[in-house]
Chain A
Amino acid sequence: MLLPIVFTIIKILIIVTVILLAVAYMTYAERKVIGAMQVRLGPMHTGPYGLLQPIADAVKLIAKEDLTPDMVDRPVFILAPLLTMVPALAGFAVIPFADNFTVFGMEIKPYITDLNIGLLYVLAISSVGTYGVIMSGWASNSKYALLGSLRSSAQVLSYETAMGLALVAPVLLAGSLSLREITLAQSGMWFVVPQIVAFMVYLIAAIAETNRAPFDLAEAETEIVAGFHVEYSSMKFALFFLGEYANMYLVSTIAVVMFLGGWNGPFLPPLVWFVLKVLFIMFIFLWLRATLPRLRFDQLMSLGWKVLIPIALANLMITAIVVHIVR
């Protein structure tokens, strides 16, 4: 009875540690990749090739003074960064990183739990992250933060629909909501082949969902001061930062599980395939940031409502009809 609990706790610790390290080094990778695409070098000074830069950044942020402005709504102000960070990490509870394998006659399951409604759980938990944005903007008692948080939450809410609709199509093909079942269903053919439209819609919606360029309206440094975390400093600010990157990892992981076949792949061990695919999707995020200019807010909304949702719906209809005929 006790052993499974201990195992689960060990797994949780491993996954959280790995994700936090990955998030730290994603900031480094972002600066490097965008630098290289602008024919620059990026960070080079801290350690060999600047490899210790994220650690230096973290130490710097922790060492800074953590100040709370006078007129903020204190409990909400403190809760908001937690609400952006924790759901992003909690979403990884149902991700199947690899297939079950046996070590010393004991079956190891490389995921924390396998819910039969895993996808629904991920969508629900990532929606909770929106509250962090809204609450931080409201509690800061600053017009810039409020405007930024309003933009951000409007964006997240409108793109969540398209994202959900795009994710339903692979679910129809797999006939299950459990992420492990969906991955197993893709052992023959990845769903990105029949569902290329849904994959594109999902990618666009996911980039908008995580407030990244070219949809980084909420943090438009050139227009409003910084968006919803303008009043935050020190570790609370770092939590927002980590939450944003952890969310990016979460949507990339979901994209890999739903469309790119999860751990399926020839020659290499399953976990390696999984990590490679996730890093590839993350690279696409950085790539787009280096390429595209920011959208105007009305363009953003019209793209979400007038383009993505109809395309996702049409795709869903066609998928449903085809699945019905074949089965």
Chain B
Amino acid sequence: MKNIFDTLLLTEIFQGLGITLKHLFKKKVTYKYPFEDTPIFPRFRGVQYIKTHENGATKCVGCYLCQKVCPSECIHIVTDCGPNGERLIRKYELDLSRCIYCGFCEEACPVDAVHMGRNYHTTDSTRDHYVINMKTLSENYKKELADAQAKGEQL
């Protein structure tokens, strides 16, 4: 009896219509992406940065661990012998077009040098810009530091 009643009065259709009408006035969840950024969570992994000492020298010691652990093989390091027998980093390249932002390099680093940042605006018009070197990575550190201080957080 109730089934016949439901079928005749199209109650289920009206229920659906009520739901859609309720949603019509809800607050929208869209982020207008190019004009406003989507919110980033605390553990978000973006483009890497490499920490530096106070005198501006990099913390990286060229131990190759991040290159070794990187699953997509996007880190390329070349080291050289310095005048006092210490290890100098000739080249530290990171290919962002290959990077999968897994954060293994950050975990592998024994000297707390390489870290995952919070910047995800990596799109570019040429492919050459995707390979970033030690200079860019150190600059990323400065940017991240400034951002963190603006928000009053610890990096």
Contact = CB atoms under 8 A, between A and B. Distances in A.
A118 B16 CA distance: 36
A290 B26 contact: no
Interface of B: 10, 13, 16-17, 19-21, 23-26, 28-30, 32
A37 B20 CA distance: 5
A97 B30 CA distance: 39
Contact of A291 (B20, B29, B32): B20
Nearest to B23: A37
A291 B16 contact: yes
Contacts of A40: 28-30
Interface string A13-44: 00000000000000000000100111111001
Interface residues of A, number: 15
A44 B30 CA distance: 11
Nearest to A293: B16
A287 B23 contact: no
Nearest to B25: A36
B6 to A, nearest CB: 15
Given A38-B23, A39-B29, A40-B28, 12 more contacts: A36-B24, A37-B23, A37-B24, A40-B29, A41-B30, A287-B20, A288-B17, A291-B16, A291-B17, A291-B19, A291-B20, A292-B16
Contact of A44 (B13, B25, B32): B32
Nearest first, the 4 A-B pairs at minimum CB distance are: A41-B30, A291-B16, A37-B20, A291-B20
B14 to A, nearest CB: 10
Interface in A191-237: 200
A41 B21 CA distance: 15
Nearest to B32: A44
Contact of A290 (B10, B20, B28, B29): B20
Contact of A41 (B13, B16, B17, B28): B28
